[in-house]
Amino acid sequence: MEIRNSKSEIRNKRKIQIRNAQNILDQRNGFTLLEVILALAILAGALAVLGEVSRLALRNAAGARDLARAQLLAESKLAEIAAGITTPQAVENAAFDTSSESLDPAEPAWIYSISTQSIENPEEGLISVRVTVTRDLPAGQHPVKFSLVRWLPDPNYTPPSQTSSTSVSGGT
């Protein structure tokens, strides 16, 4: 009888263990509402941060593109002045020719200013030419501005007349 009792005790213990395991599983079938809300809040925060980072990246990329374009336009205008195509005269807020500079007419216009300054020693015959290129946008939009300075020969320079002394050498 003891064997039967021990077998029945073992069966009873197993049944109790199975019931306990089922109770544990019944209590933990899924996520709680708190866990779901917390996961959604973390996801929303991560998406907000990623959205802001991508917005800043796009804005900085556009600024870098505009700065590179302004640099190319300033170099182009200075090359025109150095080649003698354009005279180095003071100009304020002149628009670039969209056909010759391959600019998109749908974009805001690029404007340039040229300023010249003679150097302190006029005997050298050089002038400082500054070309400043910017977008034709309101100041509130923070347009890109780029300036380039180059020393060029002064087209109005006339060298001082040098007095040549002629010496007569006599022979024997």
d(CA 160, CA 157): 9
Beta-bridged to residue 117, according to DSSP, are 128
Beta-bridged to residue 113, according to DSSP, are 132
- Could you tell me if residue 31 is inside a domain? no
- Could you tell me if residue 16 is inside a domain? yes
Q: In this structure, are 143 and 64 located in the same domain?
A: yes
Q: Both tokens of residue 96?
A: 């670039």
Q: In this structure, are 16 and 78 located in the same domain?
A: no
Q: In this structure, are 64 and 138 located in the same domain?
A: yes
Buried b (16+ CB within 10 A) or exposed e, 123-133: eebebebbbbb
- Total of domains in the chain: 2
- Could you tell me if residue 110 is inside a domain? yes
Total-model pTM: 0.64
- Could you tell me if residue 91 is inside a domain? yes
Domain that holds residue 4: 1-26
Q: In this structure, are 142 and 69 located in the same domain?
A: yes
Q: CA Rg, the chain, in Å?
A: 41
Q: In this structure, are 83 and 138 located in the same domain?
A: yes
- Could you tell me if residue 102 is inside a domain? yes
- Give the three-state DSSP class for 117: strand
What's the distance, CA 17 to chain centroid? 67
119: CB partners within 8 A, 6+ apart: 126, 127, 128, 151
pLDDT tens for each residue of the chain, 172 residues long: 555 667 778 888 888 888 777 766 556 667 889 999 999 999 999 999 999 999 999 999 999 999 999 999 999 999 999 998 888 889 998 888 776 666 777 778 899 999 998 877 766 788 899 999 999 888 888 889 999 999 988 877 777 776 555 555 555 5
CATH number of 53's domain? 3.30.1300
